[in-house]
Amino acid sequence: MDAYDEDSQARHGPDGSTGARRPQDPGDREGSPAREGSADPDGPHARDDSGDPDGPFTPEGSGGPDGSPPLPPAPRTGVAGLSPRYQVGAAVALAVVAVAACVHLGMVFLSLAPANTVTKQHGKAIEQWVYPEFEQNWKLFAPNPLQQNIAVQVRAEVRMKDGSMRTTGWNDLSARDGAAIDGSLLPSHTQQNELRRAWDFFAATHGADNRPVGMRGALSEQYVRRVVVMRLYREDAISREGVIQRVQVRSSTTNVQPPKWSSEKISDKPVYRLLPWWTVSADEAAGGVR
Amino acid sequence: MNRLSLTLSRGIARVTESALGPYQSAVIRIGFAATWLLFLLREFPHRQELYGPDGPWSWDLAQQLTSDNHAFTALMWSAGQGWFEGFYLLAILSSAALLLGWRTRTASVLFMVGVLSLQNRSVFVGDGGDNVLHLMSFYLVFTRCGQVWSLDARRAARVEAARARGERVRADRLGPVLWAVLGLALGGVTLAGRFDNGWLVPALLWTVWAVLGLWGAVQRRAKSQEPWILLDVIANVLHNGALFVIMAEACLIYATAGWYKIQGSRWQDGTAVYYPLHLDYFSPWPALADLMSSSGTIMMIVTYGTVMVQVAFPFTLFNRRVKNVLLVLMMTEHAVIAVVLGLPFFSLAMITADAVFLPTAFLLLLGGWAARARGQLVRRGDGDRTLPPPRSAEESRPGRVGFTA
């Protein structure tokens, strides 16, 4: 990174494709050959008269061009340098930006706040504003952190090359993710998020009877199936040698044991949630990322 | 009443005549761009699995979801491998350009397109870090975040120096070409009907493009100075508004995280921090986690401290010293989280968001160190060629460019 500090006061273009040219200052526009702002005795006056004694934000007085008749003490930039007609434009811009920023923050605030009088009345409007691009969830480990390890396990029925069918044992994919993360400074999203969040998505869009709720329920089912099939082909010896026909997924939920210094007692037996066998379509069995 | 109007007019003068916090906006530009760039490079071997057309979250699945939630993603424009690979590369390049501050405004727009497209393509592989980047990439578009520590700033300084020496300055060629190419791309995408899913991002892209064109035209042709000043004022107002939103967003993150934690029984009984340390998905260093959680008292202090800091942070902004102490605490906590919970990109994004509140004097010091380190590196690499010494922080005038938050 360059620390070209002199640019801190350089008022340059919009940095964009067309904005590479540095805007000229008034002196240049009116024929002054060079910028002599800081040496110009008019500078300080211009600054004082700009009505902003705070200094730090006042642009360096660029002063009047040499030899030209004294200019009104207009700053290089800012509304004071504009005629009333243009000042209206600036005022409108200021108002629009201020209102937009406040409305936006208000909407985001309401989307994050617990359900309340206002969100009950205007929930639809808030949703339309915030979704999809400003969606956010900051209930990180709140109100309570997750206290269970949820492992996704899968087994498959595989048609072998000789035509026979074999059923694999349970593959604990989450345990493999956990092992892959161990000792890693940069865990990959494929290890840390993919299966974990696929299962969250599935659980959130399925009832206790494992029936999908809405369109997303159906999507989540396909997603989980595709993830586990990909993983089986990659990690399971039997699957690799044949074609997966059906898969069965279960989740195993185990409580994190309370700390040693706590007197709490919690069961350490895993609780299983067994899903029905799913038929794997030819497309899912063949394609995909390996 | 008089004092009120005076304060008001001063405030208006402040937010219209300059883009506040040039160093703060530069540091978040660099931070967010670096986070995303490192993430894209880290996941380069896994790009197909995470975002590719044949990944587990296949193009068809993404198609069904995005046509329902209207999220913007350029990756739905085509299911082809070529488009995906090219786009991933473009996302890397735009992050690098934004990091360096090369054509910053354009780079920030492309950066946003990259972040939104990849994340909306596969929403179910992201975490909190992705969420922060998603929002900030959008807000960054509105800031003048290349005023310092950028190639744009260096170029502007060179042009300025040349002009001061009375040399003729060659007009910028690349800018208009880039603008025209992007205009053609936008036009093509629009005509092909690919902008039919949600209006927000397409409208933003067209607006930025039109304004950049207007900007160039005004600089080149306008006889009067005023149109340009007006545009400059609008750009300043937008920048200051966006910076305010970014800061408020950071406060919302901490406030939400903190206030909801207060309601949790584990945060009340002082054991909450113990549990994430013992989740298989968030414990890359189990021995370290065990060591940290070996004392109940320490766990309780960390648990309570976390909640207090998060809840208190927004209010401490009114006091510089307390705010800076909390900033140190929060950045440290995030650095620890990066390693102990295995969330480096989330932590980097959060540290960057915190950095928007750093005092200018500290950032100048940081910039000085960076410049000196770079100078030494360049000199070592260049053998005996003599180079001008890097500018130190002292040479600049802190306070001139304000936002001494």
- Do A168 and A202 sit in the same domain of this protein? yes
Return mean pLDDT, chain B.
91
Rounded to two decimals, the pTM is: 0.86
- Do A220 and A276 sit in the same domain of this protein? yes
- Do A89 and A155 sit in the same domain of this protein? no
Residue A289's pLDDT band (boundaries 50, 70, 90)?
low
Who has greater pLDDT, A50 or B272?
A: B272
Residue B203's CB: how many other CB atoms inside 10 A? Answer: 11
Q: Is residue A64 part of a domain?
A: no
CB contact under 8 A, B50 and A10: no
Query: Which residue of chain A is at minimal alpha-carbon distance from B7?
Result: A52
- Do A155 and A280 sit in the same domain of this protein? yes
DSSP bridge partners of A159: A165, A243
Q: Which of A26-30, A186-190, B255-259, B313-317 is least confident?
A: A26-30
Based on the structure, what is the number of domains in chain A? 2
Q: Which residues of A touch B201 (CB under 8 A)?
A: 133
* Mean pLDDT to the nearest integer, B320-339: 96
Query: Which residue of chain A is at minimal alpha-carbon distance from B222?
Result: A29
Q: Which helix (H) or strand (E) holds B378?
A: helix B360-382
- Do A123 and A204 sit in the same domain of this protein? no
- Do A279 and A175 sit in the same domain of this protein? yes
- Domain span at residue A119 reads 84-130
pLDDT digits (tens, 9 = 90+) for B241-280: 999 999 999 999 999 999 999 999 999 999 999 999 999 9
- Do A172 and A249 sit in the same domain of this protein? yes
Residue B17 has its nearest CB partner, among A29, A77, A257, at A77
Residue A17's pLDDT band (boundaries 50, 70, 90)?
very low
Q: How many CB pairs under 8 A join A and B?
A: 419
Q: Is residue A78 part of a domain?
A: no
Q: Is residue A39 part of a domain?
A: no
Question: What number of CA atoms fall less than 13 Å from residue B268's CA on the CB side?
Answer: 7
Q: Which residues of B touch A104 (CB under 8 A)?
A: 245
Query: Which residue of chain A is at minimal alpha-carbon distance from B117?
Result: A133
Q: Does A146 touch chain B (CB under 8 A)?
A: yes
> In degrees to the nearest 10, what's the CA dihedral of A86, A92, A97, A103?
180
Return d(Cα B203, Cα B350) in angstroms, integer. Answer: 29
DSSP bridge partners of A151: A252
- Do A273 and A154 sit in the same domain of this protein? yes
- Do A103 and A192 sit in the same domain of this protein? no
pLDDT digits (tens, 9 = 90+) for B374-388: 989 887 766 544 444
Nearest to A199 by CA among A247, A253, A263: A253
Question: What number of CA atoms fall less than 13 Å from residue B359's CA on the CB side?
Answer: 16
Q: Is residue A97 part of a domain?
A: yes
* Separation of first and last alpha carbons in chain A: 40
Model confidence at B285: pLDDT above 70 = yes
- Do A239 and A169 sit in the same domain of this protein? yes
Q: Is residue A256 part of a domain?
A: yes
Q: Is residue A218 part of a domain?
A: yes
Q: ipTM of the predicted structure?
A: 0.91
Model confidence at B237: pLDDT above 70 = yes
Query: Which residue of chain A is at minimal alpha-carbon distance from B273?
Result: A145
- Do A252 and A224 sit in the same domain of this protein? yes
- Do A158 and A206 sit in the same domain of this protein? yes
Q: Which residues of A touch B264 (CB under 8 A)?
A: 142-145
For residues B348 and B239, the answer to whether their CB atoms sit within 8 Å is no
Q: Is residue A94 part of a domain?
A: yes
Nearest to A227 by CA among A190, A180, A276: A190
Q: Is residue A88 part of a domain?
A: yes
